[in-house]
Amino acid sequence: MNQPTFLTIILNFRTPDLTIKAAEAALRVLRVLGGEVLIVDNGSGDGSYDTLCDHVAARGWDKDGDLRMVQSPQNGGFGAGNNFGMAHGLASGAQPDFYYLLNSDAWPDPGAVGKLLELMHAQPKAGMAGSHIRGEDDGDHCTIFRFPTIAGEFEGAARLGVITRMLHDSVVPMEIPAQTTQVDWTAGASLLMRREMLDEIGGFDETFFLYYEETELCHRAARAGWQTYYVPSS
């Protein structure tokens, strides 16, 4: 099997210092798995793009083509910014097999992206795979959810123990599992996406500026027969 190609996209909006830290982590992944890193400045308008370019040049990250910088002319939100990055593809002009979305305030542990790739190889209908997220205090962050339903929204509004127990299978935030689990949708902080799936269903719906864009994309993928997984070992 040929080594899969993947493009890491880091979206920056007025967080150049965090973005540089995320890029450092992404480049460590790249040295093991290959691939390229693309930093998208999402119309920051505050000098972030120039700051990032200076940092990248000072570190020599742009010399071998492994890391590139692009600037979106406007801030269209999370989905639009990532669509803008995905449209650029690899430096060769080809499209990768996978896109890896990494928040500017997220830093993958060694092996984290490799675990997502392993899942993709094992599950050919997996369109997306997300990581376990923990805070700097080492606390777990819930990033896996059920699709919203009337029952789930009712439970979220009521927040009463007896109702939560009655509607357990409709509660939108899921309990964090210890094993790899198929889920309805997961957050885009550390998310691997199969290009074949995106070719079929399209990218993010840009009418969502922030929040619910991952929900809608995973829902559209599920309707087309693709699966989303949560990989706690990542």
pLDDT tens figures, 184-197 = 999 999 999 999 99
Q: Burial-class residue 134 by CB neighbours within 10 Å (0-12, 13-18, 19+).
A: exposed
Q: Is the pLDDT at 149 greater than 90, yes or no?
A: no
Confidence of residue 233 (pLDDT cuts 50, 70, 90): very high
Q: Is the pLDDT at 60 greater than 80, yes or no?
A: yes
Confidence of residue 148 (pLDDT cuts 50, 70, 90): confident
Residue 107 structure tokens: 């830093």
Q: Is the pLDDT at 154 greater than 60, yes or no?
A: no
Residues 76 and 43: their CA atoms lie apart, in Å, by 8
**More confident call, 66 vs 224:** 224
Reported as type and span, the H/E element at residue 39 is strand 36-42
| Nearest Cα residue to 224 out of 151, 94, 126 | 126
pLDDT of residue 161: 53
Confidence of residue 170 (pLDDT cuts 50, 70, 90): very low
Q: What strands lie across the sheet with 126-131, from one edge to the other?
A: 67-72, 36-42, 6-12, 98-102, 190-194, 126-131, 227-231, 181-183
Give the pLDDT confidence of 8-20 residue by residue, as tens digits.
Answer: 999 999 999 999 9
pTM of the model: 0.90
Residues of the chain with pLDDT > 70: what percent? 89
Give the pLDDT confidence of 99-134 residue by residue, as tens digits.
Answer: 999 999 999 999 999 999 999 999 999 999 999 999
Q: Is the pLDDT at 136 greater than 80, yes or no?
A: yes
pLDDT of residue 217: 97
Answer for the pair 172, 215: CB distance below 8 angstroms, yes or no. no
**Which pairing describes strands 227-231 and 126-131: parallel, antiparallel, or unpaired?**
parallel
**More confident call, 117 vs 30:** 117
pLDDT of residue 151: 45
Q: Is the pLDDT at 78 greater than 90, yes or no?
A: yes
Calculate mean pLDDT across residues 34-46. 95
Q: Is the pLDDT at 96 greater than 60, yes or no?
A: yes
